[in-house]
Structure 1
Amino acid sequence: MNTDPIADYLTRVRNAIKANQRVVEIPASNLKKEITKVLFDKGYIANYKFEDNGPQGNIKVALKYHPVTKVSAIRTLTRVSKPGLRKYAGMDTMPRVLNGLGIAIVSTSKGVMTDKEARQQNIGGEVLCFVY
């Protein structure tokens, strides 16, 4: 059994990028689906597909690479809030990743969003991960 499914999600994506794979398949959950949507909206992944086969389903994520240099759009994926130590941030203490060049994915009372969107809506929440 996985104790931290979000860390597993990030590790699968990280490993697929290091192996230069185009598509990675991840067991689905509602939170993972929301994180995938945020990554797609911000341009870090090329596409995604939710498959409902079996009790849980899968997420197929198509990774995005530069056409000439073959460098991934995602350079770093870092888990911030862990099951043993949750990290929460208010609207005023929301972290900025690479001075605004990266994103922090935050789980708020109004859903999963980026740090910038959370600041605009004046809400805080649990900082799940940093992406840049």
Structure 2
Amino acid sequence: MITDPIANTLCMINNAIRRKHKEVSFYSSKMIIAILEIMRKEGYIIDYIQKKTPNNIAYVTVFLKYNGDSAIRGIKRVSKPGHRIYCKAKDLMTIMNGMGTAILSTNQGIICEKTSKKLNIGGEVLHYI
């Protein structure tokens, strides 16, 4: 039983990057797929593929992006199950002078900080890339 699937996902991606793997697989959910879609749109990963095992267990394979070094310099989990962090759109800080991204969970779904500022929507800050 995984208590924090988002932290587990980010940890597996981070470990794969440190070992310079081209791909990494883990269990998936709708929230994880939404996070991966934002990472793909922002250019942090090449792509991902969803699959199901014969036992009907969903998992996803993520293809990591490298240009010499990894496109992802670091991932930091902000909100945790025991300590949620919420932020208004105007209070969101810029990550790495605009080179990074914050991913938020809002009432409009999972969005990045740029979209959050554009729509003026705050929410729970999930993690920074």
Q: Shared topology, TM-score over 0.5?
A: yes
Partner residue, 2:10: 10
Question: Does structure 2 retain, via aligned residues, the 8 Å contact 1:29–1:56?
Answer: no
Give ranges in structure 1 of 5+ residues lacking alignment: none
Mapped partners of 2:81, 2:97: distance in 1: 27
Q: Which runs of 4+ in 1 moved over 4 A?
A: none
Q: How many aligned positions are there? A: 128
Residue 56 of structure 1: how far off its partner (Å):
3.1
Task: State the one-letter code of the partner of 1:76.
Answer: G
Of residues 119, 124, 127, the one that matches 2:125 is 127
Q: Could you tell which deviates more after superposition, 105-114 or 47-56?
A: 47-56
Q: TM-score, normalised by structure 2?
A: 0.95
Q: Give the Cα separation in 1 of the matches to 2:126 and 2:35.
A: 9
Give, in angstroms, the shift of residue 47 of structure 1.
Answer: 1.1
Q: Which residue of 2 aligns with 1:24?
A: 24
Please show how residues 1-132 of structure 1 align to structure 2 within 5 Å.
1-53=1-53, 54-66=55-67, 70-131=68-129
TM-score with structure 1 setting the length: 0.93
Query: Counterpart amino acid of 2:106?
Result: T
Separation of aligned partners in 2, 1:104 and 1:84: 20
Q: Secondary structure at the match of 1:92?
A: helix
Q: CA RMSD in A?
A: 1.0
| SS of aligned partner of 1:82 | coil
List gaps (5 residues or longer) in structure 2.
none
Offset at 1:55? 3.1
Q: What fraction of aligned residue pairs are identical, expressed as a percent? A: 38
Query: Matched residue of 1:12: which SS?
Result: helix
